[in-house]
Structure 1
Amino acid sequence: MERPNWAPGDIDVERASVARVYDYWLGGAHNFAADRAAARQALEAMPELKSVILTNRAFLRRAVRYLASVGIRQFLDLGSGIPTVGNVHEVAGQVDPTTRVVYVDIDPVAVAHGRAILAEDPNVTMVRADVRDTASVLESAEIRKLFDPTEPVAVLMIALLHFMPDETDPYGMVATYRDSMPSGSYLAVSHAGFESGEEPFGWRRARDLYERQVTPMTNRTGAEFARFFEGFDLVEPGQVRIPLWRPDSPDDVEETAARYPGFGAVGRKP
């Protein structure tokens, strides 16, 4: 296919990526035919998948608003994807426009586009890095420039950890970030998952398609999800299905929320 003028030259436009498929589902324009095809096939297998994605995005906004309301002014968004409308810097900036945000992603399109749209904002930047390489993230010039290491920080891992199988030691990675955070910092996580035997056939089929065309996924149970918060005190309402975490109004919570295919929580480091 023809390469768009905004696409970096070092990417494979014929292979779908997590960041660009997500961008397509959110209504963005920085995706390729391969991304759109993978997204549409997953939706054919599970039509409610787009609603699942948008619900996860709403969790991000609610979590950021909460964190800004308790005084957090530094946000590290790991596996951020393309920072499109309604992302962290816009939500937190409504509380305090001087809030500093560092986005991190490995996808070159996400980083190139992010840097372009953030170029005029001195309080926001984007790092291209593998979030599993914690040293390259935490020691990056961008973080050293924007963040005060003595101030609390919110580390966001939204729809990230289910792309990391156990053999890559995601728990150890989270612990490394935790240990780098000052007291009073926060961790916010959303994660695809079900309790044992709970995964519907449609979701399994959609996941099979996604794994073949984009990247493998690892669903985790509630107990497995809880392990990511070792060393943190969960804020109310604790660990819940994503729609149930501080909904904007009772009307936003459907009857199916208790069976939503994923967990969410925010924890504070004592």
Structure 2
Amino acid sequence: MEIDKKHVLLTGASGGIGQALALALAAKGARLTLIGRRAEPLETLCTGLSGEGHRVLTLDLNDMAARAELAQKLGEQPLDILINCAGSNQLGWLSDQTEYEIEQQLRINLLVPMLLTRQLLNRLNPKQALIVNIGSSFGAIGYPGYTAYCAAKFGLRGFSEALRRELSNTSTKVIYIAPRATDTALNSESVRAMNQILGNRMDSPETVAAVVLRSIARERTETYIGWPERLFVLINKLNSAPVTRAIRGQLEIIRRYAIEARSER
């Protein structure tokens, strides 16, 4: 899909990947509606975007009334691209997390994209539209310390696949893009230290944004970012035993940093 002159709704726009995406999309000529809970960073981002016609809507998408309000505020022009980018993760052993923390990760990473997409289906351009769900490599590889996050991203990948098939006789396409570890404020110092010791590479938000734009242009069904993560995803699908053995060797390191991450919150 061509991005120029397309109306794009972007959630999580105040986050690292969201900000990089907003800048990249605007540079390609898109007209953006930026969604987030914090007005100040959104307004600052909006004023720095290329082009005209961008706007900010400060909403808590966890709230049903706010989602209904969003549909009203969008006006008459249909959406060409919906990008579900808002997300959250916490490193921690399942037994150390509260019910609230688990529920919040499932809600932000899975339920909100599902409910928002449902809310806006009838606002998508009937001639051609694209739903873009930003997932994670942990949506295909279960990883200790991220049980709730993995569950949510596995769910988002399944939602994307099911909705893609549900809409296969329409002009709306659904794509799923899975970054690996990304250098954003979501990662605590403990997570950064753990990734460094384990040799896990972290991409910049700009790198992820560039891949997202290419995936939109090519309308690629699924995209996994990074090597060897793409290989691990494939191996895990075919035979998970080698991946399980490799991760088991990392388990005590992950556990140590999960405990540190807990103390940072």
- The structure whose residues are more often helix, as a share, is 2
- Structure 2 length as normaliser, TM-score? 0.48
